Amino acid sequence: MGAKVIPVSVTRKSSSQKQRALEILARLQGLYPDATCSLNYSTPVQLLVATILSAQCTDERVNKVTPALFARFPDAASLANADLEELEILVRSTGFYRNKAKNIQAACRMIVKEFDSVVPQEMEQLLQLPGVARKTGNVVLAHAYGINAGVTVDTHVKRLSQRLGLTKFSDPVRIEKDLMKLLPRPDWENWSIRLIYHGRAVCKARSPLCEACYLHDLCPTGEKTFISRKSENTIE
């Protein structure tokens, strides 16, 4: 991968869970120093829409859809008044397009009517919008407004946090609470982004590349996998 490993000051066995989380954070920062939000957008409402579209869809696919979508409907007002069928056609390739189009339009109508066409800057208000849960709220607040309200938990963050032994839960809200206790608030969002990068490049869902992972000595799952594979190779 070309990145240098940051020297380890604590071992997995002797460190607390919080110390281990901080060491993982430091290594991720070294591995992915320029990691940033993968979604393309120009305004808070465009980021909101792109994040809604990213549910069960890759950011790469969303970025192929949004140029035409935002050229046709660039703001909350135009999306609120869009023909729903046309909106569905524009977002069709992101999957679950009918529900996504409906939520996007309903959310934009609420933004126009109740928030003077401005995407809210408070989590409680964002959660009132159709199609918006804490994942979307965290992304919008962090990248549109620079507010770390929580830790974004997508499929990558969920999988890696479990594998790294930082949570025992599968519910994203409970995982988020665990991570918020372990990590400094200023790093909540960059933790998620870098963990997502690592999930895509190394700690893949089906075949994690534990032998090439710079976190494996801090990872209970990775250490077991590494030992198991080494044993299998020895037997052969």
Question: Which active-site residues does the annotation give?
Answer: 135, 154
173: Cβ contacts below 8 Å, ≥ 6 apart: 134, 153
Residue 170: alpha-carbon gap to chain centroid:
15
List helix spans (H) across the chain: 17-31, 44-53, 59-72, 76-80, 84-91, 97-114, 123-126, 134-145, 155-163, 172-182, 188-201, 220-235
d(CA 133, CA 79): 20
Of 178, 189, 186, residue with least CA distance to 141:
189
CA distance 147 to 94: 27
Task: State how far the Cα of 107 lies from the Cα of 113, in Å rounded to an integer.
Answer: 10
